[in-house]
């Protein structure tokens, strides 16, 4: 829950810093940089920050705030665990997507491994 809260709070805090630096007559580039960075992070958080995943017969579905990103099983080459916590999905075109950034519980891991095996996906947990 903390990771989601921090992700959601970062863009508004940066926008607030942009307004604050603008109101105290800082050089124009400072609020502009803060504003651009806030907008960039807001887009990432809203459209590409995975809150959860669903395993469907069609594929892996990454659930973001305003988007559901379906990765069909036919496009998924592997699901790997990086050195830090979370999971990465690698597509057949070698694109990498963060699948989830938390540690999975044992039943979740087993279900993911079973689905991967069923659909011929390499799963390295």
What is the C-alpha separation between 95 and 76, in angstroms, rounded?
Answer: 10
Give the Cα-Cα-Cα angle 65, 71, 77 (nearest 5 degrees).
135
Whole-prediction pTM value?
0.73
What is the pLDDT at residue 108? 86
pLDDT in tens, 38-94: 999 999 888 888 888 898 889 999 998 899 999 999 999 999 988 877 888 999 999
Query: How much is the mean pLDDT over the chain?
Result: 88
Backbone φ/ψ region at 18: left (φ over 0), alpha (ψ -120 to 50), beta:
alpha
Strand duo 87-91 + 96-100: pairing: antiparallel
Does some domain include residue 95?
A: yes
**What number is the average pLDDT over the span 113-125?**
87
What is the pLDDT at residue 1? 65
Q: What is the CATH number of the domain that holds 92?
A: 3.30.720
Does some domain include residue 66?
A: no
Does some domain include residue 36?
A: yes
What is the pLDDT at residue 40? 92
Does some domain include residue 54?
A: no
Residue indicated by tokens 């997507």: 97
Question: Which of 11-20, 56-65, 98-107 is least confident?
Answer: 98-107
What is the C-alpha separation between 48 and 69, in angstroms, rounded?
Answer: 9
What is the C-alpha separation between 47 and 55, in angstroms, rounded?
Answer: 19
What is the C-alpha separation between 23 and 19, in angstroms, rounded?
Answer: 6
Q: Which domain holds residue 33?
A: 2-48
Tally of structural domains, the chain: 2
């Amino acid at each position: 829950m903390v990771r989601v809260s921090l992700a959601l709070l970062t863009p508004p805090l940066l926008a607030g810093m942009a307004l604050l630096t603008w109101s105290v007559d800082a050089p124009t580039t400072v609020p502009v940089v803060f504003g651009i960075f806030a907008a960039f992070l807001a887009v990432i958080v809203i459209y590409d920050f995975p809150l959860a995943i669903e395993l469907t017969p069609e594929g892996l579905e990454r659930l973001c705030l305003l988007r559901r990103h379906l990765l069909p099983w036919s496009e998924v080459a592997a699901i790997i665990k990086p050195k830090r916590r979370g999971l990465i999905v690698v597509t057949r075109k070698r694109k990498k997507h963060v699948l989830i950034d938390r540690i999975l519980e044992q039943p979740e891991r087993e279900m993911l491994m079973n689905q991967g095996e069923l659909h011929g996906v390499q799963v390295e947990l």
